[in-house]
Amino acid sequence: MVFMLAAGSAFASSFNFPFPAKVGNVEVKAGRYNVTWQHHSPAVTVNVNKGKSVVATLQGRMETRPMRYARNSVIFTIQEDGSKTLSELRIGGSNTAIVFDK
């Protein structure tokens, strides 16, 4: 579910990170995070929040995909050392993904 935070293009939704991963320059623990994003067409500024604290801020871009996502999903890239890095957030109920470049 995506919620409008304020007028304009600020949005928020909840995402489950099933294991520890690098998000931007920060290592986050497994758990549920609220993610807010400000859309700058096509650029996006994303904040990953735990409670009221911002744990990571990163830049991404919006992509429209041919399929609609049933639920929010977190997609990771597995690095050579086995660690995981956030590569995209798929927004449930839409055909939109926020993609993060390496």
pLDDT digits 0-9 by tens, 60-95: 999 999 999 999 999 999 999 999 999 999 999 999
| For residue 7, pLDDT beyond 90 | no
The percent of residues above 90 in pLDDT, for the chain, comes to 81
Residue 50 burial by CB count (10 A; 0-12/13-18/19+): exposed, middle or buried?
A: middle
Q: What is the pLDDT of residue 9?
A: 59
Closest CA to 90 of 64, 59, 57, 58: 64
